[in-house]
Structure 1
Amino acid sequence: MRILCVAVLCAALGGCASVTRGWDENIAISSTPSGAIATITGPSEPQAPCVTPCSIKVKRSDDVSIAFAKEGYEPQIVNLTKEIAPTGAAGFAGNILLGGVVGGVVDAASGAALDHKPNPVIVTMQPIKPPAPAPRVGAKPRKPKPAPTS
């Protein structure tokens, strides 16, 4: 009987996403070219901007947005989405199947079954287009050609 209880307890804990995956997730951030400033908004714990390539640690339940800036390039913003990961779904299902309602509630509230997408976050910075050249001073304006007559 004792072996059966230990086996059930191990199976229940092994299926819990909070235990197997944790509440935090590392997100890798990179850009082409490298050296862009990545400003992170949304996490429950404030994040300092980082220079690409870099990584951050956020709660799985956090809404995260990353703004990229580099001199000479167009700024970009990437909004991350949250999806139920296959391993998170298995852990959540393990809670339900083994009667771990409390574990299921903890996983749902903590976001332990979620992953941020995309991860890694990779952007290709687009160069800022140079402005159109100004008309030359003293240049004669061109006369439009007359339309052909029929």
Structure 2
Amino acid sequence: MTYVSRRLVRLVAVLCAGSSLAACATVTRGSEDAWVVNSEPSGAKVETTNGHQCQATPCAIKMKRKSEFTATLTKPGYKPATVQVSHKTAGAGAAGVAGNVLVGGVIGIGVDMYTGASQDLVPNPVTIKLEPEERSPAKIIE
């Protein structure tokens, strides 16, 4: 085998390895995650601005990792509470992206960024302390 053909074989091998490992974070982490919400006291209803809900905390809602939304918790006798949820690059997600870079998976980096597989929802889990509603004094009827 000549020097040029050995280099060509090596290049093809690297490209094949890169394509087989493309989108490392997408493969290892997936594009969805469970967003966990708790409340004190428990039993609050959760509704999100992206259309998801659960009827009583504690609960977990399956969300896209690159979601951004506001969640509102409601419970009779308590003031509504909101939490803003965003996303950030996760340690494990960054490792998957780094794997793409090392192996030459430029396409994999694009896939991971598009699917959000390298992201984590923050905050997750979240615990919200609900405040009791203020009660107005009872009126005396004469």
Give the equivalent residue in structure 2 for 1:148: none
**Consecutive unaligned residues in structure 1, runs of 5 or more:** 138-150
CA contact (8 A) 1:18 1:106 kept: yes
- Structure 2 match to 1:26: 34
Matched residue count: 131
Equivalence map 1:1-150=2 (5 Å): 5=13, 9=17, 13=21, 16-42=24-50, 46-131=51-136
TM-score (norm 1): 0.75
For residues 48 and 120 of structure 1, the distance between their equivalents in structure 2, rounded to whole angstroms, comes to 15
Deviation per CA, 1:2-43: give whole Å up to 9, x if none.
Answer: 9xx49x838x6287111110000011111010111111222x
Deviation by residue 1:104-136 (Cα, 9 ceiling, x = unmatched): 0001111110000111121010111223676x8
Of Structure 1 and Structure 2, which has the larger fraction of its residues in helix? 2
Provide the TM-score with structure 2 as the length reference: 0.79
Corresponding letter in the other structure for 2:62: K
Percent identity over the alignment?
39
1:14 & 1:106 partners in 2: Cα distance?
A: 8
| Contact 2:23 2:105 survives alignment (8 Å) | no
For residues 84-113 of structure 1, what are the alpha-carbon distances to aligned partners after superposition, in whole Å with 9 as ceiling and x for unaligned?
A: 000000101111121100000001111110
Which structure would you say has the larger Rg?
A: 1
Once the two structures are TM-superposed, the CA of residue 49 in structure 1 deviates from its matched residue by 3.5
